[in-house]
Amino acid sequence: MNKQFLPVTPEECRARGWDAPDFVYVCGDGYVDHPSFGHAIISRILEKAGYRVAMLCLPPWQDTSAFMKFGRPRLGFLVTAGVIDSMVNHYTVAKKRRHDDYYAPGGKGGMRPDRATIVYCNRIRQAYRDVPILIGGVEASLRRFSHYDYWDDKVRHSMLVDSGATLLMFGMGETSILECANWVADGMNPAELPKIRGICYMSKTADPTCLQLPSHQEVISDTKKYCEAFTMQYDEQDPIRGKRMCQQQDKDRYLIQNQPPLPLSREALDAVYELPYTRTWHPMYAKDGGIPALQEVEFSLASTRGCFGSCSFCAITFHQGRIIQSRSPESIIKEARLLTALPNFKGYIHDVGGPTANFRKPACSNQLKVGACKHRQCLFPKPCKNLEVDHKEFMALLRQLRELPKVKKVFVRSGLRYDYIMADRDTSFLKEFCEHHVSGQLKVAPEHVCPYVLDRMGKPRRELYDAFVNRYYQVNEKLGKKQYLIPYLMSSHPGSDLQAAVELACYLRDIGFQPDQVQDFYPTPGTLSTCMFYTGLDPRTMKPVFVARSPEDKAMQRALMQFGNPQNHALVRKALRLAGREDLIGRDRECLVPPERDPRRDQQKRRPGDNPAHDRKPIRHADKKGISKPAKHGHASDRSDRQKPRRRS
């Protein structure tokens, strides 16, 4: 099969001898035929199966004409908002409009609508009233049940209801897209729907064989019912043991969710990445400078999908699942050789990873037999006794990659779970990783230091992180390398009150580090933390959780993380007084901020030592030996709040 783009115009369809495409693929991203983009994978899978697919990316949505560009497709429309939720793409956590869109030509913002999946479907329905519409992608997947919407600050219906689509595909859709396409091609027999994994559909009656969730009306009127519904969804998100679920959406409509898709075998996942991608953006974007998002992933290798880390604030568990699926080393090496042959390859592989780079296999053999454990986590509050910790294959893969001709350096920029590293009795991984795959600094994610906040996050205690820091610096000292750690930390997560924020600020003071930008918790659909944010309850225990909701509360927690910035001093002083920690306001070295300025002191000549708090050297990130490095590279803004693409499958 020749490596060429799928048709983007009716003329290109006719040139292929098509009277009409089978499917028109509508997408809120620019057309990038690269396996880091979901629309590229799904369209290539359909092409391989013999379906004719035309691409309609970033269509003008203001009227129906753009959606009639190819005429009525023979089978139907496929619709996705793109790689990330369109609302996250458009708005910061403060609900301020973003100006750029890394997935649009030239990074230009405003080329897709808010709630893109719904808007696209509504326009298609106006153009072709009864045409089948299949929706998927992250936006649809995480909104498949009644869900709290941060931007509207209310509980919305399932996206299947709001969009009027025929089917909703959730999770990674390589298998479900083919089953759904075949279902449409065979005449859409309703009796076949319960057999198709990875889909949601609407029914006029409740299905008695399903687990019955609290209804939409119940979850919008009772936060405890919302927690109950979320917990049921969370518990059943497993392809092996998960049950089909039913949720009443209104008087005579019921949402049915089938079981999640089964994990792909290595052979099947390898086949996905060996499809004939052109690996670049469509030439029609050349005049605009292309699609900026490609730069982040062009020389990266997707190694895995899924994550058993299960951080409360992350939606990967709900979308990709807890069971790790990984490509074979042979497939990854083959793709790496392809990268080195590209004309603009400079010798650097930017990433080898996925949601968590050092997870290469399921947490234990039981997961593939009976599924991931219900009501239990693999790493939290401490590693499960059945956890199989092994970095050998990952390390062997990295060795093979760095030995390839033309490869100068192999980086791993996806997240590493330091608690998984610490659980490995073989300490050789960290040594070899630091020696070959760290470029001056390693970013890891302790997220916080306060025990009751870490419990809400599903993260290990500070003591384990401190032990990792010590080991990291010991390893680098033996290697003769001056390499540093940059911690990802989060403000305003549910459970984090002012006392917790002060504790985090004191920790930053003690390690001599302050972030340039602060990561504020972003309530996105499908996460345990968002359930806490909306309800004020931890759905696992039904106990109350403190939630910082007001802009001032959030601003004080952010300011405490950047207490060294003089512009934050007034807000930090206010926060410290509210927290009853006025002992941290003063001129001693243990204090976070100086007291309010006394105009009379400004008239006095100052000498070094008169104001120790002001005479401090710039904040630095120090290692345990006292070797310090200016913290020029604070962590990026909220990882769930980023527009820049993740190097993930």
Domain extents for the chain?
Answer: 10-201, 299-438, 440-649
Q: Give the model's pLDDT for residue 609.
A: 52
> CATH top-level class for 10-201?
alpha beta
Determine the pLDDT at residue 640: 38
Same CATH topology for 10-201 and 299-438: the answer is no
CATH 3.30.930.10 correct for 440-649:
no
Biggest CA pair distance of the chain? 88
Specify the pairing of strand 23-27 against strand 133-136: unpaired
Fold (topology level) of 299-438 = Transcription Regulator spoIIAA (3.30.750)
Q: What is the pLDDT of residue 646?
A: 38
For residue 503 the two structure tokens come to 């504790």
Q: Which helix (H) or strand (E) holds 630?
A: strand 628-630
pLDDT digits (tens, 9 = 90+) for 619-633: 444 443 333 343 333
Among residues 394, 478, 391, the alpha carbon closest in space to that of 435 is found at: 478
CB 470 within 8 A of CB 421: no
Of the CA atoms within 13 Å of residue 641, those in its CB half-sphere come to 21
Determine the pLDDT at residue 326. Answer: 97
List the one residue out of 227, 219, 305, 298 whose CA is nearest residue 260: 305
Separation of alpha carbons 535 and 473, rounded Å:
41
Query: Which stretches of the chain score pLDDT less than 50?
Result: 1, 611-649
Beta strands in 469-584 (DSSP E): 484-491, 519-520, 537-538, 543-544
In the numeric block, the tokens 């089948």 are attached to 132
Residues 6+ apart with CB under 8 A from 560: 491, 498, 501, 502, 504, 505, 572, 575, 592
Say what the pTM is: 0.91
Q: Where are the beta strands (DSSP E) in 165-208?
A: 167-169, 199-203
